[in-house]
Amino acid sequence: VHRHTQQPGSEKLYRHDSGCLRTGSNVMSALASSWLPWVVGMAWIGAPANAMDNGLGLTPPLGWNTWMTCGESTCGHDVCNEDEVKSTALAMKSNGMQDLGFVYVNMDDCWASHRNSTGALTADPLRFPSGIDGLANWLHDLGFKLGVYTSAGNTTCSSGGRNYSIPGSRDHYDLDARTFASWGVDYVKLDWCGDIKKDLLAGKKAHEEFAAAMNASGKAMYLEVVAGYFFTGPKEVQTVANSWRFCEDHHDAWSSSEEQLICRLDQEGLAGSPGGWPYMDFLLTGGQGCSPFSRGAHCPGQTDDEYKTTFALWTLTQSPLIVATDVRNMTSVMNMTLLNKEMIDLHQSTDTVPGKRLAVWDCKEPLSCEIWGRKLPPAPQSTDGWIVALVNRGKDEHSITVKWQDLGLESQTTASVHNVWTGEFVGNATGSWSDKVPTHGTVLVRIETVSVQR
């Protein structure tokens, strides 16, 4: 989906029949409001296709994407270069992200240039003088994996500041997959731009063909799809992808973050599992960046409380965590969230099912106070444990209570409560736990039926 023409906060919101908020200006909106319900209904008829059985995505991926790092003098959407990618990888290695599992270094719609005389894609030689294969080798030597971007149509979504269109993969699915494999690429993002946007009936077949090309390339590569869910449906999307978007683009604005949460509720009962993960789009924790460029600043579009909420719920629900901000300049909220080992470890665990909304608390702003949570894997001396998020989507501060019955615990049970943001022991509680939650904020606690301080 073309994510580059509209500034965060300028979206006109309306409610689609599914209950999920949609922005009224981009491609997915047009699909959702007119053709898409019919196309999806047609796509869900028939037997499932062959599975996207590549052995990858056993846990949801952790990584970084170039989309809007904005730590360069060339800052802009879909402007990237080799130095930026390498310096970011070095930062991830030194700041602790790689140690936690953030190993994917992905380039969005910014790296390609033309097709050569054989029809193969080529990298922009000014931006990537070492070529994509050279960059992949460099990253692999450091223990990272490389991701690239392409489109199912004949062009990509953005020229990235250049005065010519960038070729997409339509009519070249097999060739492009083999080319990516020959370069040592580990992750491919398939967008939905170019001429194919007007050919909605080709959507299901296009995703099936691209997935087949990836599987036949000779190298296992993780596949993310932007629009595949809308054409194949929730039961078949795992056959064409390792992760899939199911909502609008995520921008650095609370209205956009809240939209992702509402769409996530639409997915109840469709949790991820090893090999396939519903994806809530980029994490913009700390700010997507400044444009025009301002050295060292993130120009955050959300508050720290809002960033903590997005991180908490992306992580609890096991959405892939692909960060699209400048991690070479870590702010306090970035350190608190992206480097939170307890949450990252839980995110990577498949011992319990992904988290979800457990209850709605009755506060003064109806439907604004929620309890989300995920059951912890069994731990020594602990009979039951949960990570619980008290979430306030309202405009005012609210006191929110999680009742033990929301967690499947007996009301007379006594449990220990720890603050996950700080690691501090908060106290013991019987039957329930309450706390004040700031507007758009999240109180994140670990609740265990035996007082064990980890």
Q: Kindly list the catalytic residues.
A: 191, 249
The CA angle 344-345-348, to the nearest 5 degrees, is 85
Q: What is the rounded CA–CA span in Å between residue 159 and residue 208?
A: 26
- Here the tokens at position 255 are 């209205």
User: Which among 370, 371, 308 is positioned nearest to 340, based on CA atoms?
Assistant: 308
Kindly write down the DSSP assignment for every residue of 110-130, as one continuous string. Answer: TSEEEE-TTS-EEE-TTT-TT
Q: What is the rounded CA–CA span in Å between residue 253 and residue 151?
A: 26
- For 305, residues 6+ apart whose C-beta sits below 8 A from its C-beta are 438, 439, 440, 441, 442
Do 70 and 291 meet the contact criterion of CB atoms below 8 Å apart? yes
User: Which among 84, 436, 335, 429 is positioned nearest to 446, based on CA atoms?
Assistant: 429
User: Which among 307, 303, 322, 326 is positioned nearest to 421, based on CA atoms?
Assistant: 307
- Count of residues making up the chain: 454
Please state the separation of Cα 383 from the chain's center in Å: 32
- Here the tokens at position 303 are 């508050």
Instruction: List 147's β-bridge partners, or say none.
Output: 106, 187
Q: What is the rounded CA–CA span in Å between residue 160 and residue 247?
A: 23
From residue 46, how far is each of 42, 72, 236, 411 by CA, in Å? 9, 49, 10, 47
> What is the CB neighbour count within 10 angstroms for residue 218?
10
The CA angle 70-74-75, to the nearest 5 degrees, is 20
Instruction: Name the amino acid, one letter, at 432.
Output: S
| CB-count burial class (<10 Å; 0-12, 13-18, 19+) for 47 | exposed
Do 216 and 26 meet the contact criterion of CB atoms below 8 Å apart? no
Q: Which ranges constitute the DSSP H helices of 270-364?
A: 304-316, 332-338, 341-348
